[in-house]
Amino acid sequence: MTTRPLKSVFIQAIRDTLGDRGGREWTWLLSPRGHIALLSKRWIDMTMSRVIIMASVFTLLTPMWSLIDWFAFPLHTWLLLMVGRIVATFAFVALLFYMCGEANLRRARWGLIYLFAIPTIFYLYGDVILQGVSLRGNSKAVAVTHTFLPFLVLTGLSVFALTLFEALVLAVPMLLSKIILAGFFWPPLGQSTAYAAGWLLLLVTIVAIMASMSQLSFVIALVRQAVRDPLTGCFSRQSGEELLELQFNLALRGNTPLSVAFLDIDFFKRVNDEFGHDAGDQVLMNAVEQMMEKMRSGNMLVRWGGEEFIFIMPHTELGKARIALERMCSAGFGQRPEGTLLTASIGIAERIADHGLNWRDLVELADSRMYQAKDAGRNRIIVG
Burial of 278 (0-12, 13-18, 19+ CB in 10 A): exposed
Say which of 293, 307, 326, 364 is annotated catalytic.
307
Residue 20: left if φ>0, alpha if ψ -120 to 50, beta else—which one?
Answer: beta
Terminal-residue alpha carbon distance, the chain: 70
- H or E segment to which residue 312 belongs: strand 308-314
Enumerate the β-bridge partners of residue 335: 341
Rounded to a whole number of angstroms, the CA Rg of the chain reads 29
Strand order through the sheet with 300-305: 300-305, 308-314, 258-265, 344-350, 381-382
Query: Tell me, what DSSP letter sits at residue 245?
Result: H
Contacts of 185 (CB under 8 A, 6+ apart): 127, 128, 131
Strand 344-350 and strand 381-382: the pairing is parallel
| Catalytic-residue membership of 166 | no
CB 111 within 8 A of CB 103: no
Contacts of 189 (CB under 8 A, 6+ apart): 144
d(CA 10, CA 17): 11
Residues assigned a catalytic role = 307
